[in-house]
Structure 1
Amino acid sequence: MKTVIIKYNAGNVQSVMYALDRIGASYLLTDDEAEIRSADKVIFPGVGEASTAMAYLRERGLDRLIPSLKQPVLGTCIGMQLMCRHSEENNTTCMGIFDIDVRRLPAADGLKVPHMGWNNINQLRGPLTNGLPDNAYMYFVHSYAADVCPETVAVCEYGRPFSAMLQKDNFYAAQFHAEISGNVGQRVLENFLNRSL
């Protein structure tokens, strides 16, 4: 099986590579269109700022390539947000795979933004949550989050409910960092790698 990690100017790619190493998955880090199109699975990770990341994707045509993919695609953290319609972060138009907006988390009731650390997810459904306990704890680092919508397959709450995971057709996404969320995060990655669609 050929797994590709999309290379672009967003951090945290190394930890995704380490996580795949731990579960014995082979992978290629690339921004080459032919390599991405020929992959069995595509992972679109990252940590960063929405407008800068989208500008990089547009320069390389990846903003058109990613939504056109037919194989399973998993976006994580900023990758998930860029797969949405729009982000309040610097008023950024994103790829629109998920027809939902990304909004800043509220700094209210003593909550600090960014939302950083362990938090539980619930209302789990969909193939990537197979084997996860309800209220599983995942590791988050983010200031913006997608609203809850029909494509939401896991919910987290931090000041307001937000989409911890999304799924639409062959596109999957997680706001948390599965690669550093221990055994439960590893299970999400394994579920994704074992998906045929």
Structure 2
Amino acid sequence: MIVIIDYGMGNLKSVKNALDFLKLESKISAEIEEIQKADALILPGVGAFPDAMDTIEKLALDKVIKEEVRKKKPLLGICLGMQLLFEKGFEGIERKGLGLLKGNIVKMKEDKSNSVKIPHIGWNNLLYNKKDELFNSIEEGKFVYYVHSYFAQDYNKEDLIAYSEYGDNKIPGVVRSSNVIGAQFHPEKSGTVGLSILKNFGELIK
């Protein structure tokens, strides 16, 4: 069972629909007991970093997420959910994140040639930094769907699995440290490639 954590700031239904399509058993919940019983967790997210952390802490979800990660339960953060896995975010104000990954979330740089727009919205190809089971049967260079203005920096280089290039920005697309995984793009909106990534995530709990 995969629990999609509901803290009121995620595209929960589209993630659930993708898992249903893959026949991966899942439920949307903010209940501590259900999160504890889950085999794996997904932390989605759309919106602002400080607001998300405020809500997560208010619901005491930060504590249970950290506890379950310590038990080696697989956790996948998507978009804002990935950003929350890092130490700090700088969206408007400096705000502590969950601190499960080394690094900070900062605003993307405007391109000197003005060839890129921020936010970064649309399809971009993934380049591999190293092999990972999340990309089993997925060729390098496939396109995934991004919607964001902020991205991870000062991260542990060993955590970088795949990235995309956007103007002067090298965007960490997928990061992983043991059982903690983040995808800056939206797998649930990235067609067959995204579904394959979610399927491979589901394989981690078998």
- For Structure 1 versus Structure 2, the TM-score category normalised by the shorter chain is over 0.9
Name 2:127's counterpart in structure 1.
122
Deviation, structure 1 residue 20: 1.2
Name 1:9's counterpart in structure 2.
8
Taking only the aligned residue pairs, the percentage that are identical comes to 34
Deviation, structure 1 residue 125: 2.3
Name 1:103's counterpart in structure 2.
106
Pairing partner for 1:92 from 90, 95, 99? 95
Spell out the pairing of 1:130-149 with structure 2 (5 A cutoff): 130-147=136-153, 149=157
Distance 2:122 2:34 in 1: 34
- Which runs of no fewer than 5 residues in structure 2 stay unpaired? none
Name 2:65's counterpart in structure 1.
66
Spell out the pairing of 1:17-36 with structure 2 (5 A cutoff): 17-36=16-35
What secondary structure, in the 3-state scheme, does the structure 1 residue paired with 2:20 have? helix
1:75-105 superposed Cα distances (whole Å, 9 cap, x missing partner)? 1000000001111112221011011111111
Distance 2:37 2:121 in 1: 35
Distance 2:13 2:95 in 1: 26
Name 1:164's counterpart in structure 2.
173
Distance 1:107 1:146 in 2: 15
Distance 2:59 2:46 in 1: 19
Distance 2:126 2:141 in 1: 5
Name 2:188's counterpart in structure 1.
179
What secondary structure, in the 3-state scheme, does the structure 2 residue paired with 1:21 have? helix
Name 1:150's counterpart in structure 2.
158
Question: Structure 1: which 4+ aligned runs deviate by more than 6 Å?
Answer: none
The normalised TM-score by structure 2 is 0.91
Distance 1:170 1:16 in 2: 19
Distance 2:131 2:50 in 1: 31
What secondary structure, in the 3-state scheme, does the structure 1 residue paired with 2:144 have? strand
What secondary structure, in the 3-state scheme, does the structure 2 residue paired with 1:80 have? helix
What secondary structure, in the 3-state scheme, does the structure 1 residue paired with 2:28 have? strand
- Which runs of no fewer than 5 residues in structure 1 stay unpaired? none
The normalised TM-score by structure 1 is 0.95
Distance 2:61 2:83 in 1: 15
Aligned residues of 2:16 and 2:27 also touching (Cα < 8 A): no
Matched residues, number: 196
1:138-178 superposed Cα distances (whole Å, 9 cap, x missing partner)? 00000001125321111111231121111112111100100
